[in-house]
Amino acid sequence: MSHAKKADTASSHTLLEGRLGYKLESALLVRALTHRSYAYENGGLPTNERLEFLGDSVLGLVVTDTLYRVHPDLPEGQLAKLRAAVVNSRALAEVSRGLDLGSFIRLGRGEEGTGGRDKASILADTLEAVIGAVYLDQGLDAAAELVHRLFDPLIEKSSNLGAGLDWKTSLQELTATEGLGVPEYLVTETGPDHEKTFTAAARVGGVSYGTGTGRSKKEAEQQAAESAWRAIRAAADERAKAEAVAAAAATPAADTAADGVASAASVPSGEPREGTSGASEETGAQADAPQAGGTTGAEQASA
């Protein structure tokens, strides 16, 4: 390797180490970034597959430990689903893209020519290899800190998903609850075969509620399902809020009417009711009093 190329490699490694927050032993980092396609094209160099195997276990342990502690009341099956929502190829690829990890991977010419630097499987495997390298070079505490920094947002996000712990399942459950029907996905693709972009629209009952894009059909559908879920959930929440406000507004009127009935019923029969006119009271008094110049009933009887 030429001196200039070595300098470029060292510079790129320094950049990656800055993003990871750890300085690693050079040969170990090089191996973590070496895809098998590069190794095979260059005389059978060591690949990152053993580090990937190790990193997968470290990642699984840290995520499982976190979920166990954060969700003390969840049963085993639900914890397993939460872990699967975090530790999967799509989620790892998303984290890798945030680090721009693809630009540091050593790829063979074949993979390079078919868009390998952005393939979810390659990105996920390389990230696991890097986690494995951090574990070997810095220990479990450092590897756990890296996993927390990279994956805690995904762990939190996974708690918002439905029973199936993916957006498509969550959307189907929500639309069933709301009586909207079964979601369907319309997918289109653009670009050459080695660099396709997929766009999906999530439709329910003939209405489009969300769209998404991705490097695969599955990724685009998941993004569209998430967008649709949020739109339908927001509409349902607003509707529930409006109904609660209307119910609260109707309650005082009903209470006032009930109070009026109770008040009227509580007035003793011999007392004038509130609202009785002075004329009515005078009429009653006149009827009970003897007329001027007239005789009482006793006087009439004695006569």
The span from the CA of 77 to the CA of 67, in Å, is 12
State the DSSP code for 291.
P
Give the residue among 39, 38, 9, 42 at the shortest CA–CA distance from 26: 9
The span from the CA of 126 to the CA of 111, in Å, is 14
Catalytic annotation, pick one of 111, 128, 166, 219: 128
Beta bridge partners of 21: none
DSSP string, 174-207: HHHHHT----EEEEEEES-GGG-EEEEEEEETTE
| Residues in the chain, overall count | 303
Tokens 């004038």 sit on residue: 272
The span from the CA of 64 to the CA of 79, in Å, is 8
Q: Is 8 a catalytic residue?
A: no
The span from the CA of 197 to the CA of 187, in Å, is 10
The span from the CA of 127 to the CA of 266, in Å, is 79
User: Do residues 210 and 224 touch, judged by C-beta distance below 8 A?
Assistant: yes
The span from the CA of 83 to the CA of 71, in Å, is 12
- Considering just the CA atoms, what is the radius of gyration of the chain in Å? 38
Q: Is 41 a catalytic residue?
A: no
Widest pairwise Cα distance in the chain? 149
Catalytic residues: 56, 128
